[in-house]
Structure 1
Amino acid sequence: MTTATFLQTAKLLLTGREYLRVSQDRSGRMKSPGQQHEENQASADRHGITLLEPYAESKAVSASRYSTDTRDDFERLISDLRTDRFGADVLVLWESSRGSRRVGEWVTMLDLLEDRGKLVHVTTHGRTYDPANPRDRRTLLEDAVDSEFESAKTRGRIKRDMKASAAAGRPHGVCPYGYLPVYFSDRRGLDTWKPDPVRAPIIFELFDRLRKGHSFRAIAKDYEARGITNRKGKPFTQQHLRTMATKAVYAGYRAYLPKELKGTKGAKPELIEGTWEPIVPRDLFWDVQRILSEPKHQNKAPRPGRVLHEYTTTVRCDVCGGPIGVVNSTKSGEPEYKCQINSCVRILKAGVDEIITDAILTYLARPDVYEALTARSASVEAETAQAELARLRAELDKATSETPATVAEARMFARLVEDLTAKVTDAEKLVRELTAPGDLVALIEPGADVAKRWKAAPVSARRKAAAILLAPEHLGEVRITRSPLPRRRVPADERMVWRHAE
């Protein structure tokens, strides 16, 4: 007879330590650690067990083999058994599954209890087991097998429910900023989301301003000045705004990617029609995605300072081909364009700006220009190219974030990054060829005067549009020539050269 069996048979006073754990309660039927302790105490009193300090998890965590969370106090329990610091005669569990739903863990624990001559009391069974007793051990092992089987069945049911929910476009996960959760009448489950009357307009404004050419920096700064904060009461960062601007949920889509495909090369989520009301119209959402997919929006650090002039990045010196900057005239104090390389040319800024702006507005006001640009953006080929570009960029981001463990791996990642970079460059070129730049689409949206829209747009948006239009394939590259009469003022149009594609 083992020491543990002798103590139990002799009805001597035993000491016990509880292991208290509760999984995430989705049904309302599970016992909290406090409730478990109350029932454990009553059962321990009936069986002559004095409870000592318990092992208790500080958070809800699953004991199944599918869980990735760590049960700190369970690890402490096992460590104490191994080092003979358990300090009691009996391990008290509310039910067998509170210990573990993994057969391997359960066997390890029973072996340690047997080696140390300890008992197991299961409150819901109303009895105490001796792991050294073959019949008791078989009962406890059967409980472990049953618990693991139930866990596997539950996981399978949850996966089926998730797939069905995704196929139906039902909401899933944390309610996004801008929405409020709507529960079923019994509050046992999420029904849908509805736009938050306070925060939804903030989301719409974000997308609207991005289409109009506002930068994330400008929007974040404006939101902070107006006291608009995130859920934690902190100002929005540029990165946070960028992340929100890519969320399809705001256009009424549910993005679904099966868990087993996450991290798989080439895997991308499927967009399913959601059951909730969109905050952002679909055309606005896709316009913003086109804008964000353009090369100038991809992983480039913002230039310091504010953008003050529309044309300084596109107008060039016709002598050396260098960029044009803005300085004040030494005579009149008026702004002038000046070659930044060799000071080859100087010309009053106002006259040049007037001519360029008039040419741009005349071009954008043409109905055929709007039809041609928007028709390109809406094509199936354009959407396919954008999706492929997004996939390649995701692969490149993943490849560049990996930390190689060996020299061979480093060389492999280097080749992969080089290959993906080339493919991304080709894909970006194709997207540019197939789609209208989002900045232009926003400026020439029908139903509003182009001149008013141009004037209302921020300088950064006008600069982007100018960089696109003042190119050989559109209006032509603008260059400033030297004055034929150095000591006399020559009209701006006589010193401006428009270079077109051959």
Structure 2
Amino acid sequence: MMTSMEAVIYARVSQDHGTRSVQEQERECREFCDRQGWNVTRVLTDNDIGASRYSGKDRPAYRELKEILRPGDVLVTWEASRAQRDLAAYVELRNLCADRGVKWAYNGRVFDLSDGDDRFGTGLDALLAEKEAEQIRARVLRGKRSAAAEGRPSGKTPPGYRPVRDPRTGRTVTWEPDEVAPVMQEAARRILEGETLREVTRWANEQGVTGTHRQMRDRLHLASYAGLRVHQGKVVGEANWPALWSPEQRDQIIAAFADPARRASGGGGVPVRHLLAGIARCGVCGAGMRHYWPPSAQKISAPPAYVCSDGLHVRRQAKPLEKAVVRATLARIRTIDRAQLADDGGAAAAAARREAQELQDRLDEFTVAAAEPGGPSPRALAAIEQKLQPQIDAALARARASYRSPLIGRLAENPEDWTVLTVVERREVIRSMVTVRVMPTQSRGVAGFRREDVEIHPA
């Protein structure tokens, strides 16, 4: 039995979760050291860090070995691949141990790296470890290519979707829209209607979709929302999950963010200027209506109008349409019980969002634990997610239902404040109070506005 030696244990685990955790590696290494009569002086660990030439991650604990190994020490690892999966790294470690008179122990054996036979044996193990790393990488790449070809999801699920798992294996097979999907769709629509990124982000945060302006912009650029599968940074085909908006709309969103006027305003965008653009809907096809007042109409003093943005099915003079909608909106506000506006729903919405976040944190903890040896199996994780996700969705739905813009309470107390609101604020009030559908009319021309041709209902 070898005695009077000081041992340094090094443990590492990467994302190929079929091996021992760092805790299990340390325990088995300590048991081996006890049998040898060695005194363990240090335990160094690199958790969730690969050791192949493809990992690209720094291993701070491994680097520390170079500083602390002293002549007469023994380096103890669970197996050879825990120290390295790269032949070049093995050569560096072999030379370090040989030069300093440090032995290396793994798999229940002790190697003297100044000995030719031990150098040959550990070198073969290093080659096998490197080969295994290559095989793991090849399998991962094949899996990613296969998933991309079949349109299956990969990576983090974006807001607006939830993963759908195979009940047998627990693996994600597709995504489906969740309670947040309408919020993301509305955010995209508001950007296309001209609202600034700051305005859209603030509104989305109030609906429970948290994040910065940059995060919101990056999300709205995602091809995933247009039902497109991306592999290695390129769109490779259609995805197997439902789109929240069309590829054409995604192109329009990207073009909107690239607009020089939006960039000139510091990335925030040009504030929307027209009260009902996108809010009023065509009664024929359901498309949003856009403001229409071309130079040709201005030359002949024709009034501005709103027109259907998809087929020009309906057209109405702008001012009388806006006047009718504003009158209906303020009338709707007068019918609201003032007691319900005591805190504008803010406290109830905040409580519901906190509940949703707490449940999401619990689910995230289970997801992280499932990635570690001994954690929940994919099947068990799927069962946990199946139980928690509906609770998360219900809490988010309560948050959105409870939330009411503070502007509603303000106007309930002082209707005259409408005159000092910005266009964006007025649009927010209208959206939360009414829906507007412009129906075909029997009148001739755009000038003949008839109130009965416009359907305005409580939102």
TM-score of the two chains, using structure 2 as the length reference: 0.59
- Unaligned residue ranges in structure 1 (runs of 5+): 1-7, 231-235, 259-268, 311-352, 371-440, 461-502
Q: Which residue of 2 aligns with 1:46?
A: 35
**Aligned twin of 1:23:** 14
* Correspondence list, 1:261-280, <5 A: 269-280=234-245
Superposed, which structure 2 residues align to 1:106-185 within 5 Å? 106-122=90-106, 124=107, 126-185=108-167
Tell me if 1:105 matches 2:105. no
Q: Deviations over 1:18-51 (max 9, x none)?
A: 101111144xx21001111121122223333332
Residue 66 of structure 1 corresponds to which residue in structure 2?
Answer: 54
Contact 2:194/2:270 (<8 A) preserved: no
The Cα of 1:295 is off from its aligned counterpart by: 3.6
User: Aligned partners of 1:286, 1:67: CA distance in 2, in Å?
Assistant: 34
Paired residue for 1:12? 3
* 8 Å Cα contact 1:256/1:272 also seen in 2: no
Q: How far off its partner does 1:358 sit?
A: 4.0
Amino acid in the other structure paired with 1:275? N
Q: Is the Cα–Cα contact under 8 Å of residues 16 and 49 in structure 1 kept in the other structure?
A: yes
CA offsets, 1:241-296, max 9 Å, x none? Answer: 222222121111112236xxxxxxxxxx2242001121224454344344444443
2:43 and 2:268 mapped to 1: Cα distance?
Answer: 58
Alignment of 1:306-455 (within 5 A): 358-361=302-305, 365=307, 441=309, 446=312, 449-451=315-317, 455=322
How far off is 1:193 after superposition? 1.6
CA–CA distance in 2 between the matches of 1:55 and 1:303? 48
Give the whole-Å Cα distance in 2 for the aligned partners of 1:445 and 1:33.
63
Please tell me whether the aligned partners of residues 197 and 267 of structure 2 are also in contact (alpha carbons under 8 angstroms): no
1:356 & 1:173 partners in 2: Cα distance? 56
Q: 2:185 maps to which residue?
A: 204
Aligned residue in 2 for 1:215: 196
Alignment CA distance shift 1:175-1:129 (3 Å): same
Tell me the distance in 2 between the aligned counterparts of 1:214 and 1:120: 64
What SS does structure 2 have at the residue aligned with 1:21?
strand
1:91 aligned residue = 75
Q: CA deviation at 1:179?
A: 1.4
Distance 2:147 2:270 in 1: 48
- Residue by residue over 1:289-331, the C-alpha shift from the partner in whole angstroms, topping out at 9 and shown as x without a partner, is 4444444334542699977799xxxxxxxxxxxxxxxxxxxxx
Match of 1:255 among 214, 230, 237: 230
**Distance in 1 separating the partners of 2:168 and 2:218:** 34
Contact (CA 8 Å) 1:90, 1:120: kept in 2 or not? Answer: yes
Residue 447 (structure 2) aligns with? none
Q: Is the 8 A contact 1:208 1:284 kept in 2?
A: no
- Note closer, same or farther for the CA distance 1:98–1:449 as it changes in structure 2 (3 Å cut): same
C-alpha distance in 1, partners of 2:175/2:315? 37
Q: What is the aligned partner in structure 1 of residue 217 from structure 2?
A: 242
Give, in whole Å, the separation in 2 of the partners of 1:49 and 1:185. 48
CA displacement at 1:107 relative to structure 2: 1.5
Shift in CA distance, 356/97, structure 1 to aligned 2, threshold 3 Å: farther
Q: What is the CA–CA distance in structure 2 between the aligned matches of 1:307 and 1:121, rounded to whole Å?
A: 69
* In 2: Cα distance, 1:252 partner to 1:306 partner: 29
3-state DSSP of counterpart to 1:203: helix
Matched AA of 2:215: H
Unaligned runs of 5+ in 2: 276-296, 327-421, 425-459
2:266 to 280, 286, 301: 301
Tell me by how many angstroms 1:450 deviates. Answer: 4.2
Structure 1 length as normaliser, TM-score? 0.54
Q: Following the alignment from structure 2 to structure 1, what is the Cα–Cα distance between the partners of residues 269 and 242?
A: 39
Q: Is the 8 A contact 1:23 1:61 kept in 2?
A: yes
How far apart, CA to CA, are the structure 1 residues paired with 2:256 and 2:97?
64
1:151 Cα deviation after fit: 1.2
Give secondary structure in 1 for the equivalent of 2:186: helix
Name the CA distance, whole Å, in 1 between partners of 2:85 and 2:58: 14
Distance 1:132 1:304 in 2: 67
Deviation of 1:459 after TM superposition, in Å, equals 5.3
Q: Which is further off, 36-45 or 168-177?
A: 36-45
- In the superposition, relative to structure 1, how do residues 43 and 356 fare at CA in structure 2: closer, same or farther (>3 Å)? farther
Question: Relative to structure 1, is the Cα distance of residues 307 and 188 closer, same or farther in structure 2, using a 3 angstrom cutoff?
Answer: closer
Which residue of the partner structure matches residue 228 of structure 1? Answer: 208
- Offset of residue 62 of structure 1: 0.2
Runs in 1 of length 4+ with deviation above 6 angstroms? 302-310, 353-357
Alpha carbons of 1:445 and 1:221: their partners in 2 closer, same or farther (altered >3 Å)? farther
Q: 2:26 aligns with which of 37, 48, 56?
A: 37
State the distance in 1 between where 2:93 and 2:237 align. Answer: 46
Amino acid at match of 2:153: P
- Aligned length in residues: 307
Amino acid at match of 1:75: R
One-letter amino acid of the structure 2 residue matched with residue 296 of structure 1: A
1:316 — aligned with what? none
What is the root-mean-square deviation in Å for CA atoms of aligned residues? 3.6
